[in-house]
Amino acid sequence: MADLLVSHLGLVPYAEALTLQHALRQARIDGRIPDVLLLLEHPPVITRGRRSADTDLVLGEDFLREHGVDVITTQRGGLATYHGPGMLVGYPIVRTGDVVGYLRTLERALVSALAQEGIHARQRESTPEQNLTGVWVGGPDELTAQGAPLRPDGTPVPWAGTHRKIASLGVHLSHGVSAHGFAIGADNDLAPWDWFTPCGLPDVRMTSLAQETGRVETLPCLRKRVAVAVARELGLRQRLISRVRLEVLAGVPSATSAA
C-alpha cells in the first residue's frame, strides 16, 4: 500500500500555505514525493474561487479588513469561503484524474470522521440552481414529534430543522495533481460567515462541531480522525512527517528553517 504523508502544520498564514502547496504539488508532479496531506489552521481569511463575484462580499473588502479578515483570490474551484482559527483546513496534494470523484471521496472521508465525533453528517446532491458540494448536517427530517433534537450536553441543537454546512470543499488540478482541499468547522467563531455570501448560497447556515455538540476543544481529536479517514478513503497508508522533513524530501526551500 502506498503512503500518504500527513503533516500537522499548526497556524499558518494563507499565502505561506499556498506557496508551500504549489511547491509540493510540483514535487508530486515530478515524482519526488508520494501523496501528501497538510492539516493546519489559518488566521482569519476569506478566499474567493474562480467563480466568485464581487457581490459575494456583501459588506465589502474594507469592512472585512477592518475586522481583521484578509481577502485573497485563488485558483481553486468554488466560490467564497472563510478560514479562521479553530477550523481544520486540509490540503491533499494527491494524484487524481477525476475531479468529481475526488471531491466525493473527500466528502465521504469527512462524513466518516464526523460520525466518530457523534455527528450525523452527509453529502447532498447539487442542483442546476445550487452547488451543494461539501458536508452537511441537519435538515427537516431531524425534527421529531417531541420537538428539536438535543445536543450531548442536553441543550437544543441550534437551527434544528435546517440544512447546516459543516465542511466546504474546493480543489484545483494541475497535471493530474490536486491542491487546495477542505475546511471543517470545529471550534471557530461563526460570526464572519454572516459578513459575506458563503459558497454562493445566500441562505446557507454554517455550523461547527462545537456548535453541534456543545463541546469545546474539538479540533485536536477531529484532526487525527480526519487524517485517518482521508488516508483510508484514498486507499493509502498514513505516515506522519514533520514540515521540515517534508520540505527536505520534496527539495523545496524551508520557511521554518529560514526563520
Enzyme catalytic residues: 199
Place of cell 499556498: 18
Is residue 89 helix, strand or coil? strand
d(CA 195, CA 78): 18
d(CA 168, CA 190): 14
Chain centroid to Cα 246, Å, comes to: 21
Residue 143 has a CB neighbour count (10 Å cut-off) of 15
Strands of the chain, DSSP E: 3-11, 35-41, 45-48, 70-73, 81-83, 87-93, 121-122, 135-138, 163-174, 177-185, 205-206, 237-240
Is residue 93 helix, strand or coil? strand
Beta pairing, strands 135-138 & 163-174: antiparallel
Is residue 144 helix, strand or coil? strand
